[in-house]
Amino acid sequence: MSTPYAKLPAWADYGLIPVINLFVAFVVAGLVVLLVGENPLRAAAVLVEGAFGRGQGIAFTLFYATTFIFSGLSVAVAAHCGLFNIGGEGQGYIAGLGIGIVCLAFDSVLPWWLTFPLAIVAAAAMGALWALIPAYLQAKRGSHIVITTIMFNFIAASVMVYALVGVLKPAGSMAPQTRTFLDGAQLPKLNWVIELFGAKIRSAPFNVSFLLALAMAFLVWVLIWRTRFGYEMRTYGHSPKAARYAGISETRIIIMAMMISGALAGMMALNPTMGDQHNVALDFVSGAGFVGIAVALMGRLHPVGIVLAAILFGMLYQGGAELAFEMPAISRDMIVIIQGLVILFAGALEHMFRPYVQALFASLSPRTVGMEAVKGKGA
């Protein structure tokens, strides 16, 4: 009959609360920095400066963000269907196999703009396939998707080690990676866009897969809120019983949603391979699939939020690298702690400050939360 929390204006709900959460995360991170004997304010300045201060930093931030947009969208699609896809890491990694095969086969014959679509299809197909098996087991056998997708991360890692150490490695090479792709499988950089605004960039891997990521964000929005399939997915995600009542097939919806989720996770492999390193190397995903979980949660499972959260995490990656360089006392592991705190406060403890913000709004200006001014004695 009544909601436990009073409603907040939309700007506070979607703007103020995430900012407060972030702020608290940084305050706690600041304490950790203080603990290792560095100045937290200077650390924050280095971090932000490193991420956005120069064109070079911005390009790297957006490069990292590209991968996180894909992995965040992947988690969000599954989550709208009530499924927790933890397997983005493995789905992205195995997609590298598809990309590798396509690129090695066509980079000498086709221009990049023909190789790219083929690689997109290959990456999406491999990711979808890797998600299909856990999805089938969930739908038909009731095996828990969280467990099976985690297990498939390990299987993917093993398969990739096998492929990169044996099959895909050029003869005579010592490194567990494919040969370097030729021009026909190298994605054009987008650094010139940033340079239009007057910034200078030496070299940065920011590339056209960023545009693909934005296009996917839009398509995911269309899928979830504007298609029949998205409607069925959300129905199932909120209430499996209502889905049954509405005649929606549980098996079909689980398998399709997971395959779309897997396809998106697969596409995240395009950015580091074709966009940056121009090869497929061991461990090239390096945790981006897991970061996607935090990105999706922080972005409230909405594509716009996910793009913004991905840029935030891109900033933490890029700024963090600068920080580790500038302040030797702050190691790479410290950066992981800071990222963990952001995930903790923005994701897991998302609603911690909500009641206080609401109380504040209610007492400061009752009208904004829809109350008439309270007359009479105070409680």
Q: Which residues would be at the binding site for another protein (CB under 8 A)?
A: 1-3, 6-7, 222, 226-232, 234-235, 238-239, 241-242, 244-248, 366, 369-372, 374-379
For residue 12, the minimal CB distance to another protein (Å) is 13
- Residue 236 identity: Y
| Distance set, CA 44 to CA 26, 50, 68, 154, 350 (Å) | 8, 10, 22, 36, 22
Q: 93 or 361, CB closer to another protein?
A: 361
Q: Cα separation of 194 and 50, whole Å?
A: 15
Distance in Å, CB of 2 to another protein, minimum: 5
Q: Could you tell me which residues are beta bridge partners of residue 189?
A: 207
Closest distance of CB 212 from another protein, Å: 21
Question: Nearest approach, Cβ of 141 to another protein (angstroms)?
Answer: 17
Integer Cα distance of 132 and 187 in angstroms: 29
Residue whose CB is less far from another protein, 69 or 369? 369
Nearer to another protein, 328 or 378 (CB): 378
By C-beta, is 30 or 230 nearer to another protein? 230
Query: Of the two residues 331 and 363, which places its CB atom closer to another protein in the complex?
Result: 363
Closest CA to 126 of 151, 158, 91: 91
Return the closest-CA partner of residue 69 out of 221, 259, 277, 230. Answer: 221
Q: Quote the CA–CA distance of 25 and 312 in Å, as a whole number.
A: 13
149: its two tokens: 């997708």
Rounded to a whole number of angstroms, the minimum distance from the CB of residue 15 to another protein is 19
**Collapsing DSSP states into helix, strand and coil, what is residue 238?**
helix
Q: CB–CB of 322/101 below 8 Å?
A: no
Q: Give the shortest CB-89-to-another protein separation in angstroms.
A: 29
Nearer to another protein, 286 or 358 (CB): 358
List, as one string, the DSSP characters of 238-276: H-HHHHHHTT--HHHHHHHHHHHHHHHHHHTTHIIIIII
Choose between 109 and 371: whose C-beta lies nearer to another protein. Answer: 371
CB of 76 to another protein, least distance (A): 15
- Tokens for 212, please give them: 């693909």
